[in-house]
């Protein structure tokens, strides 16, 4: 496996401070059955490694506020664009989260063999990425020492009001599309109106245009609940206090996760934050994540 050792080209919508903080990114490609998965990497390869998996219709940029703080606290950070999203290929026959573990496992093995990370990793999955992470470790339990679920669906718990997302691909003007993106971000991802800043809007608009897996259905099932009893690593969770997927049901969710996990870790509720908790409240999120990673 030949890896591209050049620095990654970062999106032009990043503000100067983030561009500087993330400037040392490497862009790496792994392959399985001809399909490429693109990974971004920061930090020193011999440091303890944390792998961050983004949410649905996303890319590595779901973690823009979290990468540099992890590097500064001594972590090697690997963030793939999940197959079918961002810069990664959509593998043949891949139409939902259950097709992703084989590609992520193969990619991690290739990165380890190439010297781009050392030892076992800590796996952190946001939303759709949380489902992917749980299924990954159910199939390949040797790949990580812990799992952290962030705003993950798939627990079979519903809320009385469905999240009112709107379609945008049929709209012909950028202005009309932007209005829908703003609506969808506030309906699902964010709590505070001030959290919907120019960066959130720009990266969301860029990410949804590259989503090639639009008919995902497993997030509305109990696939994570059915997977948790199979996991052999400690499972922890971080959720925003007002996550739209579990509005009013976080205590039930915590009890369910703890009861289903054979090795329970920690639960953290981040106050005054919505579903995209690591973007909306990066400092308390980072503190919670470090508590888990250092346990």
Rounded average pLDDT over 25-53 = 97
Q: What is the pLDDT of residue 165?
A: 93
Buried b (16+ CB within 10 A) or exposed e, 24-42: ebbbbbbebeebbbbbbbb
pLDDT band at 215 (very low <50, low <70, confident <90, very high): confident
Distance in angstroms (rounded) separating the CA atoms of residues 62 and 293: 20
8 Å CB contact between 64 and 199: yes
Distance in angstroms (rounded) separating the CA atoms of residues 194 and 274: 12
Average pLDDT of every residue of the chain: 96
pLDDT band at 1 (very low <50, low <70, confident <90, very high): low
Biggest CA pair distance of the chain: 50
**% residues pLDDT > 90 (the chain):** 93
Rounded average pLDDT over 205-214 = 96
Q: What is the pLDDT of residue 133?
A: 98
Res 7 pLDDT > 90:
no
Burial class of 191 by CB neighbour count within 10 A (0 to 12, 13 to 18, 19+): buried
Res 79 pLDDT > 60:
yes
Q: What is the pLDDT of residue 4?
A: 52
Check: pTM over 0.95? Answer yes or no: yes
pLDDT tens digits for 146-186? 999 999 999 999 887 778 899 999 999 999 999 999 999 99
Res 65 pLDDT > 70:
yes
Res 6 pLDDT > 90:
no
Rounded average pLDDT over 25-50 = 97
Distance in angstroms (rounded) separating the CA atoms of residues 180 and 182: 5
pLDDT tens digits for 220-277? 999 999 999 999 999 999 999 999 999 999 999 999 999 999 999 999 999 999 999 9
Strand partners, 76: 49
pLDDT tens digits for 100-118? 999 999 999 999 999 999 8
Q: Spell out the residues 6+ positions from residue 256 whose beta carbon is closer than 8 angstroms to its own.
A: 155, 157, 225
Distance in angstroms (rounded) separating the CA atoms of residues 45 and 43: 7
CA distances from 188 to 46, 227, 247 (A): 37, 24, 11
Rounded average pLDDT over 214-222 = 92
């Amino acid at each position: 496996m030949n890896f591209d050792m050049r620095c990654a080209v970062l999106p032009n919508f990043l503000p100067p401070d983030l561009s500087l903080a993330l400037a040392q990114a490497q862009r790496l490609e792994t392959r399985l059955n001809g399909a490429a998965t693109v990974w971004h990497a920061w930090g020193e390869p011999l440091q303890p490694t944390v792998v961050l998996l983004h949410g649905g219709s996303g890319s590595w940029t779901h973690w823009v506020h979290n990468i540099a703080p992890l590097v500064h606290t001594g972590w090697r950070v690997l963030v793939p664009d999940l197959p079918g999203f961002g810069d990664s290929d959509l593998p043949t026959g891949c139409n939902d989260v259950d097709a992703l573990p084989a590609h992520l496992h193969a990619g991690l093995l290739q990165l380890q063999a190439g010297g781009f990370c050392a030892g076992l990793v800590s796996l952190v999955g946001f939303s759709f990425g949380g489902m992917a992470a749980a299924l990954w470790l159910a199939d390949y339990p040797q790949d990580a020492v812990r799992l952290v679920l962030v705003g993950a669906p798939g627990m079979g718990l519903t809320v009385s009001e469905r999240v009112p997302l709107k379609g945008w691909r049929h709209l012909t003007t950028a202005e009309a599309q932007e209005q829908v993106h703003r609506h969808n971000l506030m309906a699902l991802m964010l709590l505070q109106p001030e959290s919907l800043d120019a960066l959130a809007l720009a990266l969301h608009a860029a990410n949804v245009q590259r989503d090639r897996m639009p008919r995902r259905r497993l997030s509305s099932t109990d696939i994570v609940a059915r997977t948790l009893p199979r996991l052999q690593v400690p499972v922890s969770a971080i959720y925003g206090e007002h996550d739209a997927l579990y509005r009013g049901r976080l205590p039930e969710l915590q009890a369910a996760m703890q009861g289903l996990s054979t090795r329970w870790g920690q639960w953290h509720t981040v106050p005054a934050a919505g579903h995209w908790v690591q973007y909306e409240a990066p400092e308390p999120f980072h503190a919670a994540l470090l508590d888990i990673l250092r346990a």
